[in-house]
Amino acid sequence: MILLPIGDEPNDPKRIAWMNYALIAVNVLAFIWMRATYTTDAAFREFVGEYGYTPADGSVQTIFSSMFLHADWLHLGGNMLFLWIFGDNIGARLGALGYLLAYLAVGVAATLIFGAFNADSTMPLIGASGAISGVQGLYFIICPRHRVKLFVFLYVYINVLKVNARWIMGLWFVLQDVLPLLVSIEVETGDLVAHMAHLGGFASGLALMLILKPLAPGLADAELAEQGHSHRYVSGAARSKRYERTRRKDPYESGVRKRSRFDQHPPEA
């Protein structure tokens, strides 16, 4: 059985999420450069040992450098897929600089939380998954009605399902991080996955957006504008006509919520 997220909706930000694409590019280029430069496994392990975050001997430099290192193509591809799906929505709301600062903040928090629970570990931590889990935490708060497109392959059954983002993220973290973490504690073993970094990043994203949302009215305006402006969970000709009729206005533009004719009667999800 294969369950693979391939996108989300609504996803029509007029502002192109350049910072999200830049972060993806930096991660990919860093991995290509590392593998081209450190061609042997021994050399690569030495490089990771120097620039990965080791809880027992960490530094400010390695906190940041570890966020852009990946072990292999599968590690990189999975992380970049999730960043591509969830990051553009947050970038559209926070702007390029705000998104970059939020991304780094939740990434640092995820790394430090992992280090706090593994203070004696000498195994270096690498990967962007802590920061990306933080982006999902931001998304969980500010995009409550979004849906994730889920590719399902179950023997003879192949389909793309659209599932509420909060449901699928909650299920994902429980199955991929909470349960494996509890099992590893119970049997005193590990599976080389930094579950605590994922959970720490997600919790940091939740906390950060809960702080930002009341301080920045534009975030709530964008959320309401998106729900009542151009994105409706309907299909066929009705969806097409409504989308084309309303897409000329930017749902992320300040004040657009007041101009939307859907404000008085928000659409059903």
Q: What is the CATH number of the domain that holds 199?
A: 1.20.1540.10
For residues 85 and 41, membership in a common domain is answered with: yes
For residues 243 and 187, membership in a common domain is answered with: no
Q: What is the pLDDT of residue 50?
A: 93
For residues 255 and 184, membership in a common domain is answered with: no
Q: What is the pLDDT of residue 90?
A: 92
For residues 139 and 195, membership in a common domain is answered with: yes
For residues 163 and 183, membership in a common domain is answered with: yes
Q: Determine, yes or no, domain membership for 102.
A: yes
Q: Determine, yes or no, domain membership for 53.
A: yes
Domain holding 81, by residue range, is: 2-215
Spatial distance between the Cα atoms of 221 and 226, rounded to a whole number of angstroms: 8
For residues 225 and 92, membership in a common domain is answered with: no
Q: What is the pLDDT of residue 256?
A: 46
Q: Determine, yes or no, domain membership for 266.
A: no
Q: Work out the angle at residue 164's Cα, subtended by the Cα atoms of residues 163 and 170, and round it to the nearest 5 degrees.
A: 105
269: Cα within 13 Å, side-chain hemisphere: 14
Domains of the chain: total? 2
For residues 72 and 165, membership in a common domain is answered with: yes
For residues 49 and 7, membership in a common domain is answered with: yes
Q: Determine, yes or no, domain membership for 245.
A: yes
Q: What is the pLDDT of residue 154?
A: 83
For residues 58 and 189, membership in a common domain is answered with: yes
Q: Determine, yes or no, domain membership for 264.
A: no
For residues 194 and 252, membership in a common domain is answered with: no
Q: Determine, yes or no, domain membership for 58.
A: yes
For residues 60 and 134, membership in a common domain is answered with: yes
Spatial distance between the Cα atoms of 223 and 178, rounded to a whole number of angstroms: 29
Q: Determine, yes or no, domain membership for 133.
A: yes
Q: Residue 144, preceding bond cis, omega within 30 degrees? A: no
Q: Determine, yes or no, domain membership for 98.
A: yes
For residues 248 and 178, membership in a common domain is answered with: no
Of 214, 210, 212, 245, give the one whose Cα is nearest residue 230: 245
- In 105-254, the DSSP E strands lie at 147-154, 157-164
Q: What is the mean pLDDT of each run of 10 residues along the chain (269 residues)?
A: 84 75 97 93 92 92 96 94 94 91 97 91 92 95 89 87 90 83 57 82 95 79 57 41 45 47 43
Of 101, 134, 97, 94, give the one whose Cα is nearest residue 13: 94
